[in-house]
Structure 1
Amino acid sequence: MLLSHLPNSLARVTFLLWAGIGTIVGTGCAKETAAPQPTVAAPTPAAETHLVSSTLIGEYPASVLAGRVATIPLAGALVRYPIRVYRLTYTTRNTDGNTITASGALLVPEAGAQPLPLLSYQHGTIRPDDEDRAPSYYSASSEVWSAVSVLASTGYIVSAPDYIGYGASKALPHPYEHAASLASASLDMLRATREFAAKEKLPLNQKNFLLGYSEGGFATLALHKLLEEKAAAEFTVTASAPGAGAYHKSVFADYILRADKPLSFLSTYVWVLDTYNRVYGINRGFAYYFNQPWATQLQANPFGPVPELSAELFAAAFRQGVLGKTDQPLLSAFRANDIHDWQPKAPLALFHGTADDYVPFFNSQDAYNAMRARGATQVELRPIAGGNHFTSATTYTLQAYAFLAQYY
């Protein structure tokens, strides 16, 4: 599998803040043709049992949770309840439609008998060699260990899917930036969470919140769309706060392939191309996408460095096929992952740094414009002035929490 290479210094910058490591992606507008058939199956029926197993990871008092975020101003003051953390395994569908076992973390505040809302938290990018950052490991290097645990302690039952390719499904390739499987794996984790709550007699109210940054922002918006369009009878979205997601893949591709300045995220885009090449059955070799010696070097070492200039890394025929709108299989795959243009019903706030050079701000601006044009009345655009993909994480964390709390 072709993977991304991200500098370790960037990969650790924001783990305390659930920022994740860049989402990335790409695409270009295309002529109207039938999109390749997505190989992920439709969501499984609600009547089907999803929960396979549950394991208590640990119980954590409020003082311990506050200590984990001691370096973040005021974060410790949010801690209210002790929490219990479980590892759930559950069934979902892989991108080929086959049933697999996936996993995730479930964070439960010890808040007495009062019914609590569910919050689905979608994590940011995790490289396969950083496997222990997946939520179900609940390690100190994971996003759920710190900020998300504090969020749970304020009174949310948090469902945090690992996604396909991590945890119980780590033998499978992670379908990076593939909207359908990110959404379905997250939905099936919610279903498993509800089954666990019924089994353990955990009282739930009818509120459901969605949150995630970077790849998690993309997954959050994809899940919101899936819930409202295909699973509204099971879960009603109360409010959603995705951050810095690559929602407009088709425009992103043109942006990347036309760029004449260095782009620091090109190594991550390698992973996106590999995912779409595989999931949509395009099945081209590395040499179609990448110039030499990069094609050979990436095949031998997928974590090797790549140049930051688009024209140096990407093969001319590939670039022309996207920019000239003639590569219909790939353009159709990009369009299948455009999730910016639909009409959400629930309150939605799109957070994004205006100086984001990993996932440019236009992704959220385009989503806001398209949704408003379709008549969405409860969608907001929340620019983070001057923030890049990493420095925006703290502001996102605090503002997203405040946004969701309005509907608690």
Structure 2
Amino acid sequence: MQSTAIWMAAIVAAALAACGGANDPDPGGARGALLQNPPPRTFAASAPDLGAQLSATPTGREMLAVAGAPVCGVQVHSIEYHTVGARGEATNATAALMLPRGEEAACSGPRPILLYGHGTDPQRAYNQAEISDLALPGAASGLQLAATFAAHGYIVVAPNYAGYDRSRLPYHPYLVADQQSKDMIDALTAARQALPALSARDSGQLLLSGNSQGGHVALATQRALQAAGERVMASAPMSGPYALASYGEAIFLGRVPLGSTVFTPLLVTAYQQAYGNLYRQPDEVYAPRYAPHMATLLPAEVPLATLWAQGRLPVSALFSSSAPAPGLEAITPPTTPPAQAPLFALGFGLDHLVGNGQRLAYLQDAAARPDGVVPAWTTGRPAAAPGHPMRQALRANDLRDWVPARPLLLCGGQADPTVFFGLNTGVMQAFWSAPSPAAMAPGLLSVLDVDAPVSGVDDPFAAVKTGFALSKAGATAQGGPAAALTLYHGVLVPPFCHLAARGFFDRVIASGQ
């Protein structure tokens, strides 16, 4: 869950969008209405120029090495559209619209659309349409999408989400599956309105993907589109927190992942906005030092490092190092399995974010109404009727309530310290595989662990696994195992899952499924 963009302003008319221009007289216009048509262009480069730009920086060279030389030029536009917040309130949001350009057959004519959800980012200025300056929040994510997908023939629609960039929403509906899927669909609707004015055509082949938070968003969007009878050709979510209810159990039992002090306030604020029952006052959730400002802290106007330096957010201590009640010392922090104990220990300290009262109430409800996966596998599903409001919210946004009807690739890495692979991707694999009653049709589900060894000469992901192994080894040699672990979720895994997704999409399109 990870990324960063610019608070700007000015809304342009939905009623006059087709004519292009004017101020928006209706801030509560129809969902998916494009606010400016044609949308402003933020970047354009031919295939050779894009290759040269990527070659000019270390980050770009790494992208180029994984994604391959650009086949197409890329043109990027910033679209703005009407959508809704977590309570259904009218708001606006923005997205990057990336178009392949060139005379080659792969770059012209009707093109498939990739609708992509990005990972968690703490900065409100996050904007994937501004890819020329890698110092800007969201630029690296946008450039990676341009290099991997748009430069290889895919139209890319990459929402920044409500609450980011020029959005008026004062919070972000983080992992609120209903809202985030609406936001994605609204961005797609707006992008399709923009295509004719930009001399681009949609082939009707819709593909979904996303990383970390965006993996959850992509699956939630596929669920929503399937329920509406809209055809998705294939999807490839990556490293997402899909089994949210079970993941929450593990965290409160002490298996604290990296990044928890960022994810938690985003999640609590979003669920408080969506459901209104997580707390009456913030100090019911947060430690006294942090409670007064936590409801409006994230997404922030300043970088995360500034929040840490100002003492407005702890770096890693989610919970107190003092047990919330007698008998819970063994999970404050856990010491098993030994290999993960140092990771879990980072999540505890005297200067902690979540109060012991909140942790104890959660654990007491979990003991009374157990989860079906954590601490022990029983049903493989969330608790049927949790009583704690956070457990209720996590269950409401857990994705174990449907069965995909289209080809699906779940990608990630087994050693992920941020979104635990086995507890999310592994749980979904079991849920959607025989003999589960929710098993997908044979041949539709593929699962890729990029950190696994090559299985043989016929392994379709051999190149991806080999490339990841070399990248991980390089990070370890340069900064040591701790550095490689820190980079694992947000830097090392995504480029190779993106590459695997592109190959997967290419095969599905070629098969005509």
Say whether 1:270 aligns with 2:265.
Answer: yes
Q: Assess if the C-alpha contact under 8 Å between 2:157 and 2:188 holds in 1.
A: yes
Query: Per-residue CA shift, 1:54-99, capped at 9, x if unaligned?
Result: 1122321112322323234634634111122111111112222122
Which moves more between the two structures, 387-396 or 334-343? 387-396
Paired with 1:359 and 1:399, the residues of 2 have a C-alpha distance of: 19
Say whether 1:310 aligns with 2:301.
Answer: no
Say whether 1:116 aligns with 2:101.
Answer: no
Change (3 A) 1:368 1:285: same
CA-CA distance at 1:185 after TM superposition: 0.7
Change (3 A) 1:139 1:288: farther
Letter in 1 for 2:93: A
CA-CA distance at 1:172 after TM superposition: 2.3
Letter in 2 for 1:134: N
CA-CA distance at 1:120 after TM superposition: 0.7
Partner of 1:370: 431
Change (3 A) 1:301 1:380: closer
Greater RCO (CA < 8 Å, at least 6 residues apart): 1
CA-CA distance at 1:396 after TM superposition: 1.5
Change (3 A) 1:310 1:52: same
Paired with 2:146 and 2:220, the residues of 1 have a C-alpha distance of: 23
SS of 1:88's equivalent in the other structure is strand
Q: Where does 1:45-124 land on structure 2 (aligned, <5 Å)?
A: 50-53=33-36, 54-66=39-51, 67-68=53-54, 69-72=60-63, 74-75=65-66, 77-111=68-102, 113-124=108-119
Letter in 2 for 1:108: L
Paired with 1:202 and 1:209, the residues of 2 have a C-alpha distance of: 17
CA-CA distance at 1:385 after TM superposition: 2.3
Change (3 A) 1:119 1:160: same
Paired with 1:341 and 1:301, the residues of 2 have a C-alpha distance of: 32
CA-CA distance at 1:352 after TM superposition: 1.6
Which moves more between the two structures, 313-322 or 95-104? 313-322
Partner of 2:391: 331
Partner of 1:384: 450
Partner of 1:407: 508
SS of 1:95's equivalent in the other structure is coil
SS of 2:242's equivalent in the other structure is coil
Q: Where does 1:242-257 land on structure 2 (aligned, <5 Å)?
A: 242-257=237-252
Q: Assess if the C-alpha contact under 8 Å between 1:119 and 1:156 holds in 2.
A: yes
The gaps in structure 2 that reach 5 residues or longer are: 6-27, 55-59, 299-306, 322-351, 366-385, 453-471, 473-487
The gaps in structure 1 that reach 5 residues or longer are: 1-5, 16-43
Give the one of 190, 193, 209 matched to 1:192: 190
CA-CA distance at 1:321 after TM superposition: 2.6
Paired with 1:295 and 1:152, the residues of 2 have a C-alpha distance of: 43
Partner of 2:236: 241
CA-CA distance at 1:246 after TM superposition: 0.6
Letter in 2 for 1:238: M
Letter in 2 for 1:143: A
Partner of 2:348: none
SS of 1:205's equivalent in the other structure is strand
CA-CA distance at 1:343 after TM superposition: 0.4
CA-CA distance at 1:212 after TM superposition: 1.2
SS of 1:245's equivalent in the other structure is coil
Paired with 1:218 and 1:177, the residues of 2 have a C-alpha distance of: 7
Paired with 2:388 and 2:98, the residues of 1 have a C-alpha distance of: 43
Partner of 1:148: 145
Paired with 1:330 and 1:101, the residues of 2 have a C-alpha distance of: 27
Partner of 1:321: 361
CA-CA distance at 1:111 after TM superposition: 4.0
Q: Assess if the C-alpha contact under 8 Å between 2:261 and 2:318 holds in 1.
A: no
Paired with 2:295 and 2:188, the residues of 1 have a C-alpha distance of: 37
Alignment size in residue pairs: 363
Letter in 2 for 1:275: A
Partner of 2:20: none
Query: Per-residue CA shift, 1:140-170, capped at 9, x if unaligned?
Result: 3313542211210111111111110112215
Query: Per-residue CA shift, 1:230-289, capped at 9, x if unaligned?
Result: 2x34xx211111111111111111111111x66432202232122212221114322111
Quote the sequence identity (%). 23
Q: TM-score scaled to structure 2, two decimals?
A: 0.65
Larger radius of gyration: 2
Which moves more between the two structures, 209-218 or 196-205? 196-205
Change (3 A) 1:84 1:309: closer
